[in-house]
């Protein structure tokens, strides 16, 4: 039976680099954020989003993700409402994706909010990626062209590394890329014999 490896970490921790490394090794990787973005384009999801946020988050009938982000990262209730629409749809999509990849020993489910969304419950193993907070802030500021304050607002909606560490099977410290890859290889060896 295919085992699910949950891969998580706070914003800017380096999850994507590790997810890419798993993919290079031939392990199927499900990037929840990317899939959620595609799912939000479906008509029924857009209707639900319009009911909560109104017409102001649409530009020529196209969802303005920047506006939605600005709203949800400043209003926890709106974030909960959005998550209540998106998370079940992603969960359903992920289930069918796992079935499509059932010929693999392992698949990876990558998401920043693995614990917050409850998705960790469907994983056989959980890997958390951690990195120094200042490193993470700088990475996200550069990557997303946003202010330090905006990064910190996003971080407020995620678990702290300490919380993730307590609930994970494996921890990867992302301070050096080569070291990080070695840590992944070691984890795969341990998982393979379990």
* Beta-carbon contacts of residue 125 (< 8 Å; ≥ 6 apart): 3, 4, 5, 6, 169, 170, 191
Residue 191 vs residues 18, 27, 85, 106, 162: alpha-carbon distances, Å: 16, 13, 33, 9, 23
**Binding site: which residues?**
12-17
Q: Is 105 in a helix, a strand, or coil?
A: coil
Q: Which residues are annotated as a binding site for ATP?
A: 12-17
């Amino acid at each position: 039976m295919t085992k699910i490896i949950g891969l998580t970490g706070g914003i800017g921790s380096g999850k994507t680099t590790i997810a890419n490394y798993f993919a290079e090794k031939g392990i199927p990787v499900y990037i929840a954020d990317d899939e959620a973005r595609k799912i939000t384009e479906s008509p029924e999801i857009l209707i639900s989003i319009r009911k909560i946020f109104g017409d102001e988050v649409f530009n020529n009938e196209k969802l303005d993700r920047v506006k939605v982000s600005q709203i949800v990262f400043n209003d926890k209730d709106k974030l909960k409402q959005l998550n209540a629409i998106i998370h079940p749809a992603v969960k359903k999509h992920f289930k069918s994706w796992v079935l499509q990849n059932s010929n693999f020993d392992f698949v990876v489910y990558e998401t920043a909010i693995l614990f917050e969304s409850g998705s960790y419950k469907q994983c056989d193993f959980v890997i958390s990626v951690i990195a120094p907070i200042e490193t993470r802030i700088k990475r996200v500021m550069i990557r997303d062209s946003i202010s330090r304050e905006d990064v910190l607002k996003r971080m407020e909606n995620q678990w702290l590394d300490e919380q993730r560490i307590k609930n994970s099977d494996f921890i990867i410290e992302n301070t050096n890329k080569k070291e990080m890859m070695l840590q992944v290889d070691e984890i795969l060896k341990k998982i393979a014999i379990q």
